């Protein structure tokens, strides 16, 4: 009964992986009529000297360093805030929207909001007497602009996981603490937060992996620009491997780097989740 | 009294936060109904004064009137068809394959921990990494620009996720039921088909919805593996229009609305079950 799954995954993920491993040691360009040529580690040497590649690491670092903590705090705050508020269920449903809407559609919405001449964001700034900002055209502003979009789109995910986690905090634990005279904040600080700790780790790693895969929003808003301000690694691989000339060899080498990082993160994730216990895999 | 004030304060903060999360959606929806003269206006029209359906029907004369194909979304139909076929195909196949595998893992512990870890790591695979090799392979197999190309690649990320969530759904169905069926002489497959599958219907429906949603919104692989209206999906249709200096916002927003509608409807309907899937099955103590 697992045969269809295994066939599917081997054919469509294990095979591409092996192919990529092979190609990363070759020069191969689909736009030229020459067969792949073995070049050893040349692609990786090129990578070490590649300034666009370094810019993409910087941008990824910024996303992870700024967007991630904000999402975590905001998501946690929302999870605590929304408990018992008037209309709790309605707000919770509406908060699903940013993460469910196809990224391409979200891109259209934000492109309109960030519009230099007519966008509501610059209009809001003007209300505070501030200058218009070229949100997608200025080096720093474009980076901040994308970070804001990421926060908008993925804080709801953090919220949902932590909100669901809070529902699972054993009631009797909270009650006995309250009886012992603990106030609302003490309950949160000493009982609920420790209970959420593993979930916070899960969220962090899942989001890190997502940030490394960032593509759709970048394509729809900045297209990596201006210059190489907003090139996440995935987008750079797309440019190298597809849109700027089908350089499959170098694209594969870049993919190897991306895969290495993601594999590392995934393994940490699997450890933290304790999937053997979670899925009751150990034989009874 | 103090509690009342606190409740009001909470509501006010909640409303303020909601503005940030909902305004982009609001802007998209209202723009889809604004006439051409209101797309570019300063100050921006926060509350639309006039509403029109021209952006959907293509009847608008607007600034971009006639030709160019950017005022109307009437040529959206083939893309809509492709999206429906691909997303439905992906949802059905991935749920079926995942249900089989999930049952085997839940009941017989096939492959154990290493196998499940592998499945999860496939889910985490960046699509761009698989896209290049698959492009080369699909070109050889003459699969480029077909529905199957997209269904197959979409299965690689929807199926592992469905397996992962379905295992815990199946775990919750009492084993005694299977055993009773066994004793009555049913084969494992018959047990699965007649006993377990009907009982896990909500889980299967949720996974089908989630697979549909993921496939429906997928952009990168569709961008690389398709090239014409024969197989291109809605997100690609939308992506084409975003590059110009001045974009026809109304029709684009209208097309965006059409693209997000099924996803929004599904996710609100299936919310209760989706939460479990979305939170990664991780909240189970």
**B66: distance to nearest CA of chain A, Å?**
23
CB contact under 8 A, B134 and A16: yes
Listed by number, the residues of chain A in 4-63 with a beta carbon closer than 8 Å to a beta carbon of chain B are 4-5, 8-9, 12-13, 15-17, 19-20, 23, 30
Which of A78, A104, A267 is closest, CB to CB, to B239?
A104
- The Cα diameter of chain B in Å comes to 75
Inspect the interface and report whether the beta carbons of A120 and B97 lie closer than 8 Å. no
- Higher pLDDT pick, B142 / A189: B142
Report the gap between the CA of B67 and the closest CA in chain A (Å). 22
Instruction: Share the mean pLDDT of chain B.
Output: 84
Q: Is A179 on the interface with B (CB under 8 A)?
A: no
Q: Between residues B91 and B57, which one has the greater pLDDT?
A: B91
**pLDDT score recorded for residue A214:** 92
Model confidence at B72: pLDDT above 70: no
Hey, how many other C-beta atoms are within 10 angstroms of the C-beta on B77? 10
Listing DSSP states for A157-194 in one string gives: HHHHHHHHHHHTS-HHHHHHHHHTT--HHHHIIIIIHH
Q: What's the pLDDT score for residue B210?
A: 87
**In terms of residues, how long is chain B?**
285
Average pLDDT over residues B212-238: 92
Q: What average pLDDT does the segment B117-135 reach?
A: 87
What pLDDT score was predicted for residue A192? 87
Tens digit of each residue's pLDDT (9 = 90 or more) over B26-70: 999 999 998 878 787 888 888 888 888 888 877 554 444 444 444
Q: Is the pLDDT of residue A187 over 50?
A: yes
ipTM for the complex shown:
0.90
pLDDT, tens digit (0-9, with 9 covering 90-100), for A39-88? 878 889 888 889 889 999 999 999 999 999 999 999 999 999 998 888 89
Closest Cβ–Cβ partner in A9, A84, A251 for B132 = A251
Q: What are phi and psi of B278, to 5 degrees?
A: -65, -35
B215: distance to nearest CA of chain A, Å?
A: 10
Kindly give the pairing relationship between strand A26-27 and strand A37-38. antiparallel
Q: What local confidence, expressed as pLDDT, does residue A95 receive?
A: 92
Distance separating alpha carbons of residues A275 and A197, to the nearest angstrom: 17
Q: Is it the case that residue B109 has pLDDT exceeding 60?
A: yes
User: Which pLDDT belongs to residue B178?
Assistant: 83
Rounded Cα distance between A4 and A266, Å, is: 24
What average pLDDT does the segment B61-86 reach?
68
Q: What are B251-284's pLDDT values in tens digits?
A: 889 999 999 999 999 888 888 777 766 665 554 5
Rg of chain B (C-alpha set): 23
- For A252, half-sphere exposure in the C-beta direction (CA atoms, 13 angstrom radius) is 27
Percentage with pLDDT > 70 across chain B: 89
Question: Taking CB atoms and an 8 Å cutoff, what residues of chain A touch B159?
Answer: 5, 8-9
Does residue B112 carry a pLDDT above 60? yes
Average pLDDT of A33-37?
80
What is the residue-wise DSSP string for chain A?
A: --HHHHHHHIIIIIHHHHHHHHHTTEE-BTTSS---EE-TTHHHHHHHT-HHHHHHHHHHHHIIIIIHHHHHHHHHHHHHHHTT-TTHHHHHHHHHHHHHS-HHHHHHHHHHHT-TTT-HHHHHHHHTTPPP--TTTSHHHHHHHHHHHHHHHHHHHHHHHHHHHHHTS-HHHHHHHHHTT--HHHHIIIIIHHHHHHHHHHHHHHHHHHHHH--HHHHHHTTT-STTTT--HHHHHHIIIIITT-BHHHHHHHHHHHHHHHHHHHHHHHHHHTHHHHTT-S--
Residues of A in contact with B223 (CB under 8 A): 219
pTM across the whole model: 0.91
Cross-chain residue pair B126–A165, CB shorter than 8 Å: no
Q: Across the interface, do B278 and A266 touch by the CB < 8 Å criterion? A: no
Taking the Cβ of residue A263 and every Cβ of chain B, the question of whether any pair is shorter than 8 Å is answered with yes
The answer for B105, left when phi > 0, alpha when psi is -120 to 50, beta otherwise, is alpha
Euclidean distance between CA atoms B62 and B251, whole angstroms: 11
Cβ pairs A/B, distance under 8 A: 296
pLDDT band at residue A140 under the 50/70/90 scheme:
very high
């Amino acid at each position: 009964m697992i045969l269809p799954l295994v066939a599917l995954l081997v054919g469509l993920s294990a095979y591409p992986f092996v192919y990529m491993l092979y190609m990363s040691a070759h020069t191969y360009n689909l736009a030229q009529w020459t067969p792949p040529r073995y070049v050893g580690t040349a692609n990786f040497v090129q990578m070490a000297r590649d300034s666009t590649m370094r810019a993409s690491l910087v941008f990824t670092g910024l996303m992870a360093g700024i967007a991630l903590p904000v999402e975590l705090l905001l998501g946690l705050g929302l999870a605590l805030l929304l408990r018992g508020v008037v209309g709790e269920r309605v707000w919770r449903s509406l908060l699903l929207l940013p993460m469910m809407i196809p990224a391409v559609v979200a891109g259209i919405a934000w492109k309109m909001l960030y519009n230099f001449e007519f966008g509501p964001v610059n209009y809001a700034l003007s209300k505070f007497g501030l200058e218009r900002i070229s949100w997608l055209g200025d080096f720093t502003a474009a980076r901040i602009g994308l970070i804001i979009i990421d926060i908008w789109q993925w804080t709801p995910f953090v919220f949902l996981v932590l909100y669901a986690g809070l529902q699972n905090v054993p009631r009797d634990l909270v009650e006995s603490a309250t009886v012992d005279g603990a106030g609302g904040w003490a309950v949160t600080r000493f009982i609920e937060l420790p209970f959420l700790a593993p979930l916070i780790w899960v969220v962090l790693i899942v989001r890190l992996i997502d940030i490394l895969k960032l593509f759709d929003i970048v394509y729809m808003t900045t297209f990596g620009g201006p210059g190489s301000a907003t090139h996440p690694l995935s987008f750079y691989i797309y440019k190298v491997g597809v849109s700027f000339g089908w350089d499959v060899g170098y694209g594969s080498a870049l993919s190897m780097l991306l895969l290495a990082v993601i594999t590392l993160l995934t393994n940490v994730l699997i450890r933290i989740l304790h999937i053997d216990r979670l899925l009751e895999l150990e034989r009874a | 009294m103090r509690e009342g004030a606190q409740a009001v304060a909470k509501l006010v903060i909640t409303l303020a936060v909601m503005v940030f999360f909902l305004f982009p959606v609001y802007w998209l929806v209202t723009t889809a109904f604004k006439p051409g003269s209101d797309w570019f206006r300063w100050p921006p029209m926060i509350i639309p004064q006039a509403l029109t359906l021209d952006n959907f029907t293509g009847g608008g004369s607007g600034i971009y009137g006639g030709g160019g194909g950017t005022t109307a979304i009437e040529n959206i139909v083939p893309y809509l068809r492709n999206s429906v076929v691909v997303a439905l195909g992906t949802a059905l196949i991935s749920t079926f394959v995942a249900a089989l595998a999930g049952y085997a893992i839940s009941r017989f512990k096939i492959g154990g921990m290493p196998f499940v870890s592998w499945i999860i790591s496939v889910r985490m695979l960046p699509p761009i990494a698989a896209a290049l090799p698959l492009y080369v392979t699909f070109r050889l197999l003459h699969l480029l620009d077909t529905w199957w190309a997209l269904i197959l690649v979409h299965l690689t990320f929807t199926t592992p996720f469905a397996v992962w969530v379905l295992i815990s759904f199946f775990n919750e169905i009492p084993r005694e039921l299977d055993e009773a069926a066994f004793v009555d002489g049913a084969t494992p497959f018959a047990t699965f088909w007649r006993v377990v599958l009907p009982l896990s219907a909500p889980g299967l429906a949720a996974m089908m919805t989630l697979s549909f949603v993921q496939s429906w919104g997928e952009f990168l692989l569709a961008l690389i593996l398709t090239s014409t209206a024969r197989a291109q999906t809605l997100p690609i249709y939308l992506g084409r229009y975003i590059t110009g200096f001045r974009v026809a916002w109304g029709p684009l927003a209208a097309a965006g609305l059409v693209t997000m509608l099924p996803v929004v409807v599904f996710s609100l309907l299936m919310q209760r079950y989706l939460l479990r899937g979305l939170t990664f099955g991780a909240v189970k103590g």
